[in-house]
């Protein structure tokens, strides 16, 4: 039998159901792997193994009593932007040092009700602002495939620990691609649900009209399982819609007969790395062989998506981050100050990193008197045009396929002095958030430098079933899901 840490989440749950292993054994095995590998990856900010073992023993006892839950005993990691009662939640920022969550986030509460066990908090770009996980105030996370490359961001810690075999699955958040891009860079699966599919209560907000929580997993089946547990309404979040939640596992199929795949011409006009474009085109060819029909679609406002996103997202961030003032929670400047305004200014100057300050300043500017209509109002109008583009496209296709990113993982430090270049890398992901759609990243190849490439599968709002169907069929027809980075070689795994 394969080592426990080598199994997918679904496979581990089957072992737990058959009493072939216990949740306590699984936590101990994964703890050993984390201790060996994470000093090089730095994917976790904190692993609370004792708390996880207590939860695991409770899950094992519940199973012995005949209780059930779709995730009973499954250990998971979660991004440091989600509140878990009694645990720190720093959002990768110094300004929240010392804060402990009073309650569970809605998504955490749902997983807990299904019996999940929580291993620890993963590293992230500060307040989810970044595409490399280099903006964390605490540490830089490395890509398991090449430690000199970024894991992507802002959910880079979650992607790295899943890819490195340090977690069966993890939660991430996606505001403009922050699940899909790191999943593509690290060679794992990442699902960004439709806006309103998963509760955002207890998620520390970056941009409230864009943020969504989703799973990062080893394969598509695991992502379908976790989204089923995560999805649904929440009285604490009015944007979590009360819609039926399909059985996503039942939607998985190994053929695509009758499915129409839209290929947006604006996403295939050059400018992407040759290895990325080749891998995506080969993936589309596989889907055709599985019975799908490919049709060209047009998303004519794609070129406006990045500037539109960085106006709307920064404006909302400026408002959301105003609460971090050194008064109610988190850290406060220790400098000698003479009035509250000076205290606010020094606390925020010391507590926020450069990228967060940059986005707060930009967002405050576009909301300021005299500029609101010229920037923010206009961006909202363009957002409507982008949504209309997708509506028209989905009139002729069931899903859209495209690259996740124009390049594979870039070198650490490459975007540090050129944030605009980093922003432009979001060109294929931010339109999905602006339109409130769902999107999946599935491994589809490797570059000549042995770095993963991700295929993006986009569905209409609340069209996750079709997206999962396409992703699973492609995944099962190829071998990319079996690729493991050097740090997670099979010999090391067997030792765990």
What is the rounded distance in angstroms from the CA atom of residue 203 to the CA atom of residue 195?
A: 14
What is the rounded distance in angstroms from the CA atom of residue 384 to the CA atom of residue 250?
A: 33
Residue 27: phi and psi, rounded to 5, are -60, -45
Lookup result for tokens 């967002």: 363
402 token code pair: 């495209």
Lookup result for tokens 């007969």: 257
For the question of residue 178 being annotated catalytic, the response is: yes
The helices-and-strands tally (H runs, E runs) of the chain is 17, 11
Cα–Cα distances (Å) from 86 to 64, 101, 128, in that order, read: 27, 5, 22
Is 451 in contact with 146 (CB distance < 8 Å)? yes
What is the rounded distance in angstroms from the CA atom of residue 249 to the CA atom of residue 170?
A: 18
In this structure, the number of other CB atoms found within 10 A of the CB of residue 345 comes to 16
Candidate list 22, 23, 42, 79, residue with the active-site label: 79
What is the rounded distance in angstroms from the CA atom of residue 180 to the CA atom of residue 185?
A: 9
The answer for residues whose C-beta is within 8 angstroms of residue 420's C-beta and 6 or more apart is: none
Q: Is the peptide bond before 84 cis (omega within 30 degrees of 0)?
A: no
199 token code pair: 């509760």
What is the rounded distance in angstroms from the CA atom of residue 416 to the CA atom of residue 398?
A: 38
- Can you name the residues that pair with 455 across neighbouring β-strands? 403, 442
Candidate list 131, 132, 154, 155, residue with the active-site label: 154
Which H or E run contains 464?
helix 464-477
What is the rounded distance in angstroms from the CA atom of residue 81 to the CA atom of residue 89?
A: 6
3-state secondary structure of 226: helix
362: left (phi over 0), alpha (psi -120 to 50) or beta: alpha
Candidate list 93, 136, 178, 272, residue with the active-site label: 178
DSSP code at position 260? E
488 token code pair: 């997670």
Strands (DSSP E) contained in 158-226 are 169-174, 189-192, 212-217
Catalytic site positions: 79, 154, 178
């Amino acid at each position: 039998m394969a080592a426990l840490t080598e199994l997918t989440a679904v496979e581990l749950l089957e072992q737990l159901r058959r009493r072939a292993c216990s949740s306590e054994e699984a936590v101990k095995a994964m703890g050993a792997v984390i201790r060996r590998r994470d000093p090089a990856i730095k994917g976790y900010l904190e692993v609370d193994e004792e708390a996880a073992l207590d939860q695991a023993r409770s899950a094992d006892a519940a199973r012995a009593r005949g209780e059930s839950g779709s995730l009973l005993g499954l250990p998971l990691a979660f991004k440091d932007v989600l509140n878990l009662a009694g645990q720190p939640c720093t959002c990768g920022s110094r300004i929240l040092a010392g804060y402990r969550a009073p309650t569970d986030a809605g998504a955490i509460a749902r997983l807990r009700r299904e019996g999940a066990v929580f291993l620890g908090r993963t590293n992230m770009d500060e307040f989810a602002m970044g595409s490399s996980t280099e903006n964390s105030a605490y540490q830089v996370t490395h890509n398991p495939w090449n430690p000199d490359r970024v894991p992507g961001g802002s959910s880079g810690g979650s992607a790295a620990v899943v890819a490195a075999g340090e977690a069966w699955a993890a939660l991430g958040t996606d505001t403009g691609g922050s699940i899909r891009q790191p999943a593509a860079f690290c060679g794992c699966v990442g699902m960004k649900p439709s806006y309103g599919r998963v509760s955002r209560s207890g998620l520390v907000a970056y941009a409230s009209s864009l943020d969504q929580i989703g799973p990062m997993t080893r394969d598509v089946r695991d992502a379908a399982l976790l989204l089923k547990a995560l999805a649904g309404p929440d009285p604490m979040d009015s944007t979590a819609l009360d819609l039926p939640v399909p059985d996503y596992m039942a939607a998985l199929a190994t053929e695509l007969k009758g499915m129409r795949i839209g290929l947006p011409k604006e996403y295939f006009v050059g400018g992407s790395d040759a290895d990325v474009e080749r891998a995506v085109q080969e993936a589309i060819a596989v889907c055709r062989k599985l019975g799908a029909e490919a049709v060209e679609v047009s998303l004519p406002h794609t070129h406006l998506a990045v500037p539109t996103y960085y106006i709307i997202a920064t404006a909302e961030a400026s408002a959301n981050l105003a609460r971090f003032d050194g008064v109610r929670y988190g850290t406060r400047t220790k400098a000698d100050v003479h009035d509250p305004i000076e205290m606010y200014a020094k606390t925020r100057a010391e507590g926020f990193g450069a990228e967060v300050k940059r986005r707060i300043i930009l967002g405050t500017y576009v909301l300021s008197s005299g500029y609101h209509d010229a920037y923010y109002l206009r961006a909202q109008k363009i957002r409507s045009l982008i949504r209309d583009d997708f509506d028209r496209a989905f009139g002729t296709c069931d899903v859209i396929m495209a690259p996740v990113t124009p390049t594979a993982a870039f070198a650490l430090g490459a975007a540090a002095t050129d944030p605009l270049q980093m922003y432009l890398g979001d060109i294929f992901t931010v339109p999905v958030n602006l339109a409130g759609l769902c999107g999946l990243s599935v491994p589809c190849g490797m570059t000549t430098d042995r770095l993963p490439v991700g295929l993006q599968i986009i569905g209409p709002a609340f069209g996750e079933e079709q997206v999962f169907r396409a992703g699973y069929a492609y995944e099962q027809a190829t071998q990319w899901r079996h690729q493991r980075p050097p740090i997670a070689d099979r010999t090391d795994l067997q030792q765990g």
